[in-house]
Amino acid sequence: MLDSWLQALQDLALPTAIREGDGLFPWIEGVHVLALSLVIGSIAIVDLRLLGMASRELSVRQTTAGTLPVTWCAFALAAISGGLLFSSNATTYAHNVFFQIKLLLIAVAGLNMLAFHLLVGRGAHAWLTVQDTPLRGRLVGALSLALWILVVACGRWIGFTLNAVT
Amino acid sequence: MIAALHVLDPFCTWLAATPLSQAIQTVEWIIPAVQTVHILCVASVMSSVLMIDLRLLGIGTRGQTLESVASRFLPFIWWPLPVLLVTGATLIVAEPTRSLENSVFVLKMALLLGAVAVTLIFSLPLRRDASFWELTTARRGAARLLAAVSLPLWAAIIFAGRWIAYTQVS
């Protein structure tokens, strides 16, 4: 059932063009790498501040104010470019274990971010200095960093395991 | 393809036959792991460049001085560069011909020199005077120009990096 949907998706005109065209795939990949580098870098700025390893002279709120718009714009771009790459070989990617893990890790990283903004980060306006930042804030930062590093690793491993999938 | 790059044939053949190159080629996890570190360093550089450039262009990061933004993010441009060099060199050792004789790789290195030069032009005056780029209207304009040039330059390096894999070396 799912496979027939994925097959229908990759038979559409644009996915076919991406798969068979000469230059589309690498250009979209370039956009994807550019976008994900900004997603991970902008999130890491906040994570490192939570951990007290960078931007130490800024409050947590000042740090997130500067980076969140970048994170969201870059994430939208990464999701669109990633979706286009996926659509070009949907059946193959969907069966790749590293692709599956990658999507799962992104979902967990998203929940972690949501937890920070809704629950843990309540009162984050009071986290003015590194000393003010409580342990739960540091834990969120550490988890976020670890998750996004694993997301990049999974992304790279997809490219080296596609042929093994039949 | 640049035909002159074939002069590197003997060197590439020798390098690919070294035990180090053979080891990187044979142990399957090395290349994706090295590429992961490479991309994480790219993330550090690109995001830091963007944060500084946005401040220079007057978009976002209001309420923070250029001095503060530059001192926060310049280290995250400079210190990943040696790691990028080492991880990049590891990938070259694994497949010397694929990169060294590839005209897109040569273009990427030229763009890299340009991007490093632009970053030096921005950061060196700050060592002597942290407010250097804000003292006159002309300097503010020049700094904005540097910002407008540096972001596309670093982005072009990423695109060239991806295209190396798709450009056949004959």
Q: What is the pLDDT along chain A (166 residues), one digit of tens a residue?
A: 888 999 999 999 999 999 998 899 999 999 999 999 999 999 999 999 999 898 888 888 888 888 999 999 999 999 999 999 999 999 999 999 999 999 999 999 999 999 888 876 677 777 777 777 888 889 999 999 999 999 999 999 999 998 644 3
Residue of B nearest to A160 (CA): B32
Tell me how crowded residue B98 is: count the other CB atoms within 10 A of its CB. 18
Tokens 């690498």 -> residue: A26
Contacting A with CB below 8 Å, chain B residues are 28, 31-33, 35-36, 39-40, 42-48, 50-51, 54, 60-61, 63-64, 68, 72, 76, 155, 158-159, 161-163, 165-166
- pLDDT tens digit sequence for B75-117: 999 999 999 999 999 999 999 998 999 999 999 999 999 999 9
Q: Which residues of B40-79 are buried (b: 16+ CB within 10 A; e: fewer)?
A: bbbbbbbbbbbbbbbbbeeebbeebebebbbebbbebbbe
pLDDT for residue A165? 40
Contact criterion met (CB < 8 Å) for A156 and B165: no
pLDDT for residue A166? 38
Tokens 């790459």 -> residue: A85
Q: Tens-of-pLDDT digits for all 170 residues of chain B?
A: 677 888 899 999 999 999 999 999 999 999 999 999 999 999 999 999 999 999 999 887 667 888 889 999 999 999 999 999 999 999 999 999 989 999 999 999 999 999 999 999 999 999 999 889 989 999 999 999 999 999 999 999 999 999 999 987 76
Pair A33, B39: CB distance under 8 Å: yes
Contact criterion met (CB < 8 Å) for A149 and B31: no
Contact criterion met (CB < 8 Å) for A153 and B44: no
Report yes or no on A166 lying in a domain: no
User: Quick one: tokens of B109?
Assistant: 């290195």
Report yes or no on A106 lying in a domain: yes
pLDDT for residue A121? 65
User: Quick one: tokens of A166?
Assistant: 């039949």
Residue type at position B78: W
Domain range spanning residue A31? 2-161
Q: How many domains does chain A have?
A: 1
pTM across the whole model = 0.93
- Predicted ipTM? 0.93
Contacting B with CB below 8 Å, chain A residues are 23, 25-27, 29-30, 33-34, 36-42, 44-45, 54-55, 57-58, 62, 66-67, 69-70, 149, 152-153, 155-157, 159-160
Query: How far is residue B144 from each of residues A106, B46, B61, measured CA to CA in Å?
Result: 35, 17, 15
